[in-house]
Amino acid sequence: MTDQIEIGRLLRAGTTGFIAGCRVNQLDAPSFGALVRAPLGGGYQIFGIIYDIHIDDDGLVRQLVTADNVSDEVMKDNRERRIVPVEMSVLAVGYEQDGKIFHLLPPRPPLSLDVIYLCDEQDMARFTKRFGYFRHILNSQDVPVGEVIAAHIQHACVAHEDKAWKEKATHEVITLLRDDYPTLMAVLGALNDVSV
């Protein structure tokens, strides 16, 4: 069992997704397209894919960028001390109940301040064994579909011993998008840039 990597805590949530926040100095762990989980106890946890990482500004930051130089101390102060969290938008893609994985929207969203973890390879392989969750990504209006699918496949194929997983995933995307040529082309274009 590898150490759990905490990437932040929940700020707000809905059934289809949630927003997690973290300090800037925690930002080396999460990445665009990564699979994350929010364990809620009682054998229930929600899985999601990060589709946006957002850093807000404020008045002070806007003013500091006009300064000639910013010292290391000021940089660290703003990144580690000031209360401006990095926000990660996560698309809910399924959940686990009593050891069984479902590629359905979760029955209940996570709650404020629930800890969000990065999925390790074992979780990643378990969750992505089947491709039912792809439809959540492909149907989402707010998500840059091609880029998220490409980034996710790049992350996930590392976790699979089956070297044909990437190929199977690509076939699944083609099947799901067979009636949507423009999106299919966008997704295949992005997938073409995935080098493993």
User: Which positions touch other proteins (CB under 8 A)?
Assistant: 60, 63-68, 70-74, 76-77, 79-82
> Of the two residues 2 and 71, which places its CB atom closer to other proteins in the complex?
71
Looking at beta carbons only, is 54 or 82 nearer to other proteins?
A: 82
- Of 61, 65, 119, 62, the C-alpha closest to 95 is 119
Least distance to other proteins from the beta carbon of 74, Å? Answer: 6
CB of 77 to other proteins, least distance (A): 5
Facing residues of 101 across strands?
Answer: 96
Around 131, how many Cα atoms within 13 Å sit in the side-chain half-sphere? 18
Least separation in angstroms between residue 82's CB and other proteins is: 7
Query: Distance between CA 177 and CA 149 in Å, rounded?
Result: 12
165: left (phi over 0), alpha (psi -120 to 50) or beta: alpha
> In angstroms, rounded to a whole number, what is the distance separating the alpha carbons of residues 15 and 31?
22
For 166-172, which contacts have Cβ atoms below 8 Å and span 24 or more sequence positions?
Answer: 166/194, 166/196, 168/131, 169/128, 169/131, 169/134, 172/131, 172/134
Output 6 or 58, the one with its CB closest to other proteins.
58
Whichever of 4 and 78 has its CB closer to other proteins, that residue is: 78
The three-state secondary structure class of 177 is coil
Quote the least distance from Cβ 60 to other proteins, whole Å: 7
C-alpha–C-alpha distance, residues 137 and 16, integer Å: 11
Minimal distance, residue 79 CB to other proteins, in Å: 8
Beta carbon nearer to other proteins, 63 or 195: 63
